[in-house]
Amino acid sequence: MNSFMNLFNRKKANAAKKPCCVDRCGFYDEIDMMPRSLFDDDFPTSNTLITSVGRNIRGVRAGIETNIECKPDGSISGSLKPEVVSTRFFNVSATVKGMNNQKTASFLASFTDIPKLPGLKGKVGLSTGTERCQVMTQYNHPFFSVVSDNTFKQNRDFAFVLNAAGRYKTGFIGGISAKMDARYDKTKESLLKKYSFGFGALDGRASYAQGPWNMFLQCSNFGRDYSFIVMRKVFVSYWTNEMLVAARLNAHAMIPDMSDAKTFKEKLAAVNDAIRPVATFAARTKVSPSSSLKVKINTKGAIGISFSEQLSKWAQAVFALHLNGKNLSAAGQNTLNFTLTISN
């Protein structure tokens, strides 16, 4: 009983430190995670319990992770993930997920930080789900990163993704991601004709960080969708810790149709319908050394309030309140969700 109560004893345990993703580590997906996480992380939309236990034996950590999620529609999904992690360079894990009598099993083997191959990382995944096999390789250099991610799917389709990113000492980072699909057609006789190739996506990202300022620009869907974030660290005299404030603008690059627009109001509506601008404002501050508060609101009336509490070095709880500011009585749009994570 005493060991269970120690999970929530903050006086004897320091808050666990999260891994940093903003130290320019070279991952394309981690290009300026800080501004993006301010809007997207710690806002759970379902109720989830995550437990992770493990033990170190002769330089190898063997553990098991469970995930139980209750979704807003009442459905419950769960996963079981045994994992073996070497303190040197390899990691092996298996996952079993179940939902509505449907089960999926997967196996993942990855390697990193091999002494004779510095900067090279990779993984191989096998699954009984839609994506049957995945092979990923990555090379990290202090000034650039290249990632190749290839997937073979259940319907015999292939997906090829190539990511490349580079950085400058001035704080600028840029990257591009290209995805190509190979679709399988069983009606064709020749093996070469069975596959048709085409580009599935072309995305780009750019980031600039200098002093308290951080700016992030992303374009996707072949340059049709854009997202621009400006973030700054500020210090408010009546708060004991610094605060992060940011603004994000999402827009769609499309020429408005003015053929039926006669009045100024109709023309403005046509422009708004084509560009679809959405502005979001967010802020994060520490309430105490072990807890933080996030708030975000957008021009469509969506409001999100998140409170994260590090109960101990083993337990963390995140509560999120989602509101529709334009209709507080809307069913399913005003929810309170939480995530409880317990690990050793």
Higher pLDDT, 60 or 101: 60
Distances from the Cα of 18 to the Cα of 44, 88, 145, 178, 310, angstroms: 18, 20, 23, 30, 11
Average pLDDT over residues 16-42: 60
* Encoded tokens for 312: 């101990």
The pTM for the full model equals: 0.78
**Is residue 117 pLDDT above 60, yes or no?**
yes
Domains of the chain, by residue range, sit at: 18-50+142-343
**Is residue 26 pLDDT above 70, yes or no?**
no
Query: Is the distance from CB of 50 to CB of 65 less than 8 angstroms?
Result: yes
pLDDT the model gives residue 293: 92
**What percentage of the chain exceeds 70 in pLDDT?**
88
* Encoded tokens for 306: 């998140």
Distances from the Cα of 57 to the Cα of 54, 80, 91, 314, angstroms: 10, 21, 14, 20
**Is residue 24 pLDDT above 50, yes or no?**
no
Q: What integer best gives the mean pLDDT of the chain? A: 83
Q: CA-to-CA distance for 135 and 123, rounded, in angstroms? A: 6
Query: Is the distance from CB of 25 to CB of 140 less than 8 angstroms?
Result: yes
* Span 194-206, pLDDT tens digits: 888 888 888 999 9
pLDDT the model gives residue 49: 94
Stretch (H or E) spanning 274: helix 264-275
List the one residue out of 44, 63, 42, 66 whose CA is nearest residue 54.
Answer: 63
Superfamily for domain range 18-50+142-343: Porin (2.40.160.10)
pLDDT the model gives residue 239: 63
* Span 229-279, pLDDT tens digits: 999 988 877 666 678 999 999 999 888 888 888 888 888 888 888 899 999
pLDDT the model gives residue 21: 35
Query: Is the distance from CB of 113 to CB of 137 less than 8 angstroms?
Result: no
